[in-house]
Structure 1
Amino acid sequence: MKPDLPQLMLVSGLAALALLSACGPDPSEAPASGDAVKQRAMEAQTTRRRTGAEIQDRALNRVIQAVYLCENGERLSVDFDNPRQMATVRTSNGEAVDLYQERAADGLWYRSSTTELRGRGTLATWTSQGRPSTECRAID
């Protein structure tokens, strides 16, 4: 006796359904709670929070870049080279000048024979020979 086409289709459909249902998640496993997911994510992180001393050490032993916008429209790009106690200032007209760090009571103070960058926090004063001083604010 030959199986007819509807029976053959039914049997093959049931076999395919059985195979597909075996691919899904185990229904007896409850989904993870939000806290469990958060904990696993925290444990999987490869970075860790740095202490204040570690952050300060990194800042003192590498080059830090900042961009200042000044009231006179000038844009200063500054590379603070802390290990060498220097700063390279590039102005918006393409000039570059190396300044040497001076001891400041508070904040930053870099100068050469003709230019000076002094400041505290995000504010600084840029003085360049032949031009009036201008107030600047760090944007980066």
Structure 2
Amino acid sequence: MKFMVIVKASPESEAGQMPSEELLTRMGQYNEELAKAGVMLGGEGLYASSHGARVRFDGDRRSVIDGPFTETKELIAGYWLFETASLQEAIEWVKRCPNLDGESSEVEIRRVFESHACGGELTPELRAQQERIAERIAARAQ
């Protein structure tokens, strides 16, 4: 099973404050442990929302809202992509993560919706399309 592990933003991350060398070292050790165990498929930190935008959809209309965004608790500062046998295993790995802001923080774990769960709605044509896309992505990663 794949899980997205979502690191919530903090006022410090939204202010563009970089983590300390100590935290970067601890995170590097944690990421290395994840990679050695075959759990970590990917992960990155994100720039503050002031460097981003949102696109709002209203029927056929699109509007762009430039960052920064005000609700820090609803923003993402980074993510991992895990592959584990269960949600419980993903939870156990996240519990080993260094506390990212040293105080009160929260990391969200969400299962990734994989195509085989679509059932009959995923026609053979759509499945073939997904496979072509996956092949293109894999080719770019090499």
TM-score range, shorter chain: under 0.3
Q: Considering only CA atoms, is the larger Rg found in Structure 1 or Structure 2?
A: 1
Which protein, 1 or 2, shows the higher relative CO under an 8 Å CA cutoff with sep ≥ 6? 2
Q: Going by fraction, where is strand more abundant, 1 or 2?
A: 1
